[in-house]
Structure 1
């Protein structure tokens, strides 16, 4: 059958549009009402300055809440509260940044803004929890749950079963699972599974197998099934094609949950192109507005930091010149975003020397090549400060995978599967691996593997909030046993 030249409608849907819209309106109304009360209490009247503040607050909420999927996900209460806290905090960090950039922070009452941050968060928590409770009670009393059949017995099928069973507001009840004809392929090695499977695959109960795949039609009639989920590996997808037209005659809803977690996934997603479904397995997270937000974050923060530490940079430069002959800065070719090569800037921390046969040797503990000033710079990570120039030039980011020497990239790519996947985002001055202590000389391949895992975890979970937390943790990780 030929593909239609123009699909009749979008293939992607957002469910529960009325309830999510209502929740968003309640949040906005609560925050605006609370803000108006606090302004009247502490300021006296709503003036033009505070009108701008409220408009920026609403705009920030719209963007941040969408980024964290607060109105799209069916996460549990704890996860919902954590995501709400992150999004709400990010909104106020944005307001603070705008205030500093425009030199308007003195215009606003700090007490009023502080109360709005604290009380606004708790007000929204109460609204979200209350709204969720109303949804659950409504689904239990007013709507008969659909009977669900899951095709598959692997970890993805069990994960889906647990999610449906633990989320009563979905209005579904799992009757059981069907075993595939010839079993399901095993996932890849344990290290890869830790990187790619959903974080709560963890301890799953065994699937409730109620029959074999060959008896699906009879089981649908026996259990009065309303919805069928195919949670099967990609190489078993022909089972869907063979059964789908028979299922159409059974008047059941059919969903496919492809098991893509056996592959190395980098910022995976589902989208559409001209109405056609597209399952993205590997892509940079910096697309569209996300790329703009990341660029603004890098430019504004790096400019402010560079301005603040400029006297320190001058002192370090003089110390390097007095300590040993040679240039102040050290430049070296590194691979950046999408594998593009750039010159990284550092303060020179070693005596000027030539490489042995062109081979770049990593710095090690008590390395004789390191100067007296250089040893201090390396222990405190101050030698990395000139990379702020790389950030301003758009070659690096404040947060991202640390760029390695080109030679080391080539060596490790031969020994670590999908090593270059870490180049799906801009390299950073600091990163998730660094704040976890995965820095310094790598004496065995397992240490570099851990770095790569942390880098891909960062790419898969990138957000402005994650950058913010990494930057805060970096302050405590500037020195340590692996800094030399």
Structure 2
């Protein structure tokens, strides 16, 4: 019923857009031409035929609104392009006002997109109030089931209501009755037959199989058990032990693929970050030019050698780049493959160098790396290559930090994890904060870290 109504409204909006465009284009109004009528009718038919193929009328429950609206817009553009091809094929384009065609395209498209957006927002509001929901039964071990329940609790607008859980990890599974325990206030069952009966008796809408990839036989058992029931079976693989990132399902050469270890954020998600990085870096370099001149003069006056220190570090996906710093130590040589970290009262650190290291002023030239696109303002700090070789096998997830651009400041740094890492435990803690940042990245999170850095992140007692 809802889908038929949506189809009717979309066709109505095509007609309304054509009529409004005609009224705006021609004053005083004249009758629609035969070609305009043909294009409006053709667009109506195309909307009814093509929109279902684009998934426009699929359920939007639990899906991101921007992605769905982009799909609607893409479907409408295909309809318009097909209408243009028809007009050219029939040699009727000369009889069509281009201004009318543009107006009708924009008006009809806007009506379709805005209406679907409003409906989606209204449904989200209704679902938050506990209406228009679908019941869900979860199958899996308590650990991953608890994770799914937390996701559902944090997204009430999706309209999924968990009702009970089947614990597949309990040793008494397939025994009689109910285990008697509760998980997040939900009853926990251990008997598969009792679970199936309850799904049928309560007319549960969906069963989510939150199982490891190795549980193929269990998945097959459930598909057979519910093969005659009109219940949605969804497999949500528990791959937490295989990867540190969100396990997005993507399409690769037409094959459904689960990302186990891949760049966690898509380029469109990163556009605000990229724009902010370049603008912030350019502004910082211009504003700090007098500071650069003063520090450069002080470095040259206090010790012989270059003003800047260059060192190779790993960037996004392990690509090497030369990181820039103000030189804070005397020029010295170390044997290949070794790196001696600065220590308290290190004789190699110059007087001005010690001040710069304590106040993070030696890091300022890295805004040039940001401007060149090699670094970000916020991200995991890149370590020396020798440290990468040392810690990649000792700290789980260490190299996953390089799945995004390294940063001048980061979540670990504003939480006090900077300076020398003399113990593996210190690096483990730093990596833990870096991975938390990657898992929970958002542009607002970046702005929070920038503000913390500005107000309290420059001076640190661990830097020397």
> Please, what TM-score do these two structures have when normalized by structure 2?
0.67
Q: Which has the larger radius of gyration?
A: 2
| Conserved 8 A contact 2:62-2:158 | no
Question: For this pair of structures, how many residues does the alignment match?
Answer: 353
Structure 2 residue 145 is matched with structure 1 residue 157: yes
Q: What is the aligned partner in structure 2 of residue 302 from structure 1?
A: 281
Who is 1:76 aligned against? none
C-alpha deviation, 1:311, in angstroms = 0.7
Matches within 5 A, 1:237-276: 237-273=216-252, 276=255
How far 1:210 moved relative to its partner?
Answer: 3.1
| CA 301–171 in structure 1, closer or farther in 2 if over 3 Å, else same | closer
Question: Does the 8 Å CA contact 2:167/2:188 hold for their aligned counterparts?
Answer: yes
- 8 Å CA contact 2:249–2:256 kept in 1: the answer is yes
Counterpart of 1:149 in 2: which secondary structure?
strand
Q: Is 425-434 or 348-357 further displaced after alignment?
A: 348-357
CA contact (8 A) 1:151 1:228 kept: yes
Alignment correspondent of 1:482: 462
User: Which residue of structure 2 aligns with residue 122 of structure 1?
Assistant: none
Contact 1:231 1:258 in 2 (8 A): yes
Shift of 1:482: 1.3
Superposition pairs of residues 432-447 of structure 1, within 5 angstroms: 432-447=411-426
**Counterpart residue number, 1:319:** 298
The runs of 5 or more residues in structure 1 that have no matched partner are 1-7, 25-61, 63-70, 73-127, 185-202
Gaps of 5+ in 2: 1-51, 70-112, 114-118, 173-181
The answer to whether the aligner puts 1:352 opposite 2:331 as a matched pair is yes
- Contact 2:137–2:165 (CA under 8 A) maintained in structure 1: yes
Aligned to 2:409, which of 419, 423, 430? Answer: 430
Given that 2:302 and 2:351 are in contact with CA atoms closer than 8 Å, whether structure 1 keeps it comes out as yes
Instruction: Write the distance in 2 (CA, Å) between the matches of 1:166 and 1:371.
Output: 52
User: Cα deviation per residue 1:228-284 (whole Å; 9 max; x = unaligned)?
Assistant: 221222222331123213312022221222222233322442333466433223222
Q: Give the equivalent residue in structure 1 for 2:165.
A: 177
Q: CA RMSD in A?
A: 3.5
Call closer, same or farther: CA 1:368–1:10 in 2, change over 3 Å.
farther
Match of 2:313 among 334, 337, 352: 334
Assess if the C-alpha contact under 8 Å between 1:151 and 1:157 holds in 2.
Answer: yes
Query: Structure 2 matches for 1:16-27, cutoff 5 A?
Result: 16=61
Partner of 1:15: 60
**Aligned mates of 1:299, 1:280 — CA distance in 2:** 29
SS in 2 for 1:248: coil
Cα deviation 1:80-109 (Å, max 9, x = unaligned): xxxxxxxxxxxxxxxxxxxxxxxxxxxxxx
Instruction: Report if the CA contact (8 A) 2:380-2:405 is conserved.
Output: yes
**1:267 touches 1:461 (CA, 8 Å); kept in 2?**
no
Cα deviation digits, residues 25-60 of structure 1 (max 9, x gap) = xxxxxxxxxxxxxxxxxxxxxxxxxxxxxxxxxxxx
Larger relative contact order, structure 1 or 2 (CA cutoff 8 Å, min sep 6): 1
Report SS of the residue matched to 2:311: strand
Q: Provide the rounded CA distance (Å) in 1 between the counterparts of 2:247 and 2:347.
A: 45
Deviation at 1:299, TM superposition (A): 1.4
Write out per-residue CA displacement over residues 143-165 of structure 1, whole angstroms, 9 at most, x where no aligned residue: 6x655432224122234446657
Whole-Å separation in 2 of the counterparts to 1:222 and 1:134: 26
In 1, Cα distance between the equivalents of 2:352 and 2:309? 14
Indicate yes or no: 2:281 matched with 1:293: no
Displacement of 1:358 in angstroms is 4.9
Matched, 1:415 2:403: no
Q: Is 1:457–2:436 an aligned residue pair?
A: yes
Cα shift at 1:170? 5.7
For the structure 1 residues 304 and 267, does the alpha-carbon distance in structure 2 shift closer, same or farther, using more than 3 Å as the test? Answer: farther
What's the TM-score once normalised by structure 1's chain length?
Answer: 0.64
CA contact (8 A) 2:189 2:195 kept: no
Offset at residue 428 of structure 1 (A): 1.2
Gap change, CA 1:295 and 1:223, over 3 Å in 2: closer
Q: CA deviation at 1:10?
A: 7.0
1:11 shift after superposition: 8.8
In structure 2, relative to structure 1, the CA distance for the partners of 1:449 and 1:315 (3 Å cut) is: same
